[in-house]
Structure 1
Amino acid sequence: MELKFRGQNLNISYDLKLAMNAAAKASKYSREQILERMEESCRRHGIKTQISMSLLEKWLNPQADEHVMPLKLFPVFCRAVDCDCTELLSILMRPLGYRAIDQQQEKLLSWAEAYQEAKVAKNRLKKIEGSL
Structure 2
Amino acid sequence: MSKRPINQLSLFTPGLDTDPAVKATMREAARSCALSREQLCDRMNELAGQAGIRLNGGNAKQLTLATLEKWLNPLDREHIPSARAIGVFCRAVGSVEPLQTLVAPHGLYLIDEQQVRKLRMAEIEEEMEALKREKQRLKAGS
TM-score interval (norm. to shorter): 0.7 to 0.9
Query: Residue 17 in 1 paired to residue 20 in 2?
Result: no
Which residues of structure 1 form unaligned runs of 5+? Answer: none
Contact 2:47 2:88 in 1 (8 A): yes
Normalising by structure 2, report the TM-score.
Answer: 0.80
What does residue 77 of structure 2 align with? 65
Query: Residue 44 in 1 paired to residue 50 in 2?
Result: yes
Which amino acid is 2:140 matched to? Answer: G
What does residue 6 of structure 1 align with? 9
Counterpart Cα distance in 2 of 1:82 and 1:103: 15
Q: CA deviation at 1:70?
A: 1.5
Q: CA deviation at 1:81?
A: 1.1
Q: Superposition pairs for residues 98-109 of structure 1, below 5 Å?
A: 98-109=108-119
Which residues of structure 2 form unaligned runs of 5+? Answer: 1-7, 57-61
What does residue 125 of structure 2 align with? 115
Q: CA deviation at 1:22?
A: 1.1
Per-residue CA deviations over 1:17-70 (Å, capped at 9, x if unaligned) read: 111111111112111111001111122222234311111011011111221111
Q: CA deviation at 1:118?
A: 0.9
What does residue 127 of structure 1 align with? 137
Normalising by structure 1, report the TM-score.
Answer: 0.86
For these two proteins, the number of residue pairs brought into alignment is 126
Measured on the aligned residues, the alpha-carbon RMSD in Å equals: 1.6
Which has more helix, going by share of residues? 1
Runs of 4+ in structure 1 deviating by more than 3 angstroms, as ranges, are: none
Query: Residue 77 in 1 paired to residue 83 in 2?
Result: no
Q: CA deviation at 1:88?
A: 2.3
Contact 2:23 2:98 in 1 (8 A): no
Q: CA deviation at 1:16?
A: 0.8
